[in-house]
Amino acid sequence: MKKVLFSALLVVLLISGTGAGAREHAAGNAAVAGRAPMLVTVDWLGEHLHDPSLVLLQIGEKKDYDKGHIPGAQFLEYESISTPHGQGLMLELPPMEQLVSVFEKLGVSNDSHVILYFGTNWVTPTTRAYWTLDYMGLGDRTSILNGGLVAWEATHHPVSTESRPPAKGSITPAARKEIVADAAWVSSHLNQPGVTIIDARTHEFYSGSQSDGNPRSGHIPGATNLSYLDVIDQDNNKFKSPDALEELFKAAGLKPGNLMVSYCHIGQRATVLYFTAKMLGYDAKMYDGSWEDWSHRKDLPIVTGDAPGKP
């Protein structure tokens, strides 16, 4: 039953992992000296496509990769960076050894510049892959291609059907446990000054008016709501401008200097908020278990309705 529920929910998550309106930019790009830009444009990638340190990873359906991908790109099997289905939660970080093995086989090393991009509409799995690499200590060497493969092709850049196994990479991980929140951490920081918890689900799930199949409906007490859909332009799957993103987070109650903690259904859509908040310069965490985990823990409080509420 859990596998069936996972498959159904994952299909919905993957197909709908898009968002709403903006301009081309490289937000937060160069904001921190010594790190790779978090977001790159197709023009930037076109100029750097043959950089020796570049590792391109496409996320999406394998058939889309086989039809045509950015030259030199490898295919990242999304399920390979999560615990096996049927074991524990629907989507959660696997052991570090598994992650190292997966990315080394794709040619990633500590000195690589990893570019993640999606084939068609897989925005939320792509930000989840970014968060995973950030957890491994490789976030400063990882970027997302704004608009993905569609933006690349729309600007008449070349695609290829050729796929060559890369030379194996070498990764010495440096786990960043501080970007991962669990139920105990969230429970102990409810309504704490300096911590802003944001629910990335669409409003009907936040309010509890619609169930996602978990035991309880509603949201974590004190959490505000900023749907992952609102930070991405639905027309082109590009991130909204920094100014627009700042306004969205401000409306969701995020203040300068606050720690932003996001959650969603299973820990995928929430990574869109993690990525954008970090890109804007905020400290951020993501609750990996998200509502699936919280909902099953009957000892933890929930709130229904439009207001954040208190425990």
Per-residue pLDDT of the chain in tens (311 residues, 90 and over written 9) = 333 333 344 433 333 333 333 333 334 444 455 688 999 999 999 999 999 999 999 999 999 999 999 999 999 999 999 988 666 788 999 999 999 999 999 999 999 999 999 998 899 999 999 999 999 999 999 999 999 999 999 999 999 999 999 999 999 999 999 999 999 999 999 989 999 999 999 999 999 999 999 999 999 999 999 999 999 999 999 999 999 999 999 999 999 999 999 999 999 999 999 999 999 999 999 999 999 999 999 999 999 999 898 76
Alpha carbons 110 and 225: distance in angstroms, whole number: 36
Rounded to 10°, the helix 123-135/96-105 angle is 110
Alpha carbons 130 and 125: distance in angstroms, whole number: 9
Please report the pLDDT score of residue 33 as a whole number.
Answer: 53
Q: Which CATH superfamily is domain 9-175 in?
A: Rhodanese-like domain (3.40.250.10)
178-296 matches 9-175 in CATH topology: yes
Chain position carrying tokens 């310069």: 281
Please report the pLDDT score of residue 195 as a whole number.
Answer: 98
Q: Name 173's Cβ contacts closer than 8 Å, sequence gap at least 6.
A: 96, 99, 100, 136, 137, 138
Alpha carbons 230 and 301: distance in angstroms, whole number: 27
Pairing mode of beta strands 180-181, 142-145: unpaired
**111: number of CA atoms within 13 Å, CB side?**
3
Please report the pLDDT score of residue 7 as a whole number.
Answer: 39
Alpha carbons 286 and 261: distance in angstroms, whole number: 5
Predicted TM-score of the model (pTM): 0.89
Q: Name 260's Cβ contacts closer than 8 Å, sequence gap at least 6.
A: 196, 198, 249, 254, 273, 274, 277, 282, 283, 284, 285
Alpha carbons 167 and 169: distance in angstroms, whole number: 6
Three-class secondary structure of residue 188 per DSSP: helix
- Domain 178-296 CATH assignment equals 3.40.50.300: no
Please report the pLDDT score of residue 86 as a whole number.
Answer: 64
Is 114 within 8 Å of 57 (Cβ atoms)? Answer: yes
Structure token pair of residue 256:
């300068």
Domain map of the chain by residue range? Answer: 9-175, 178-296
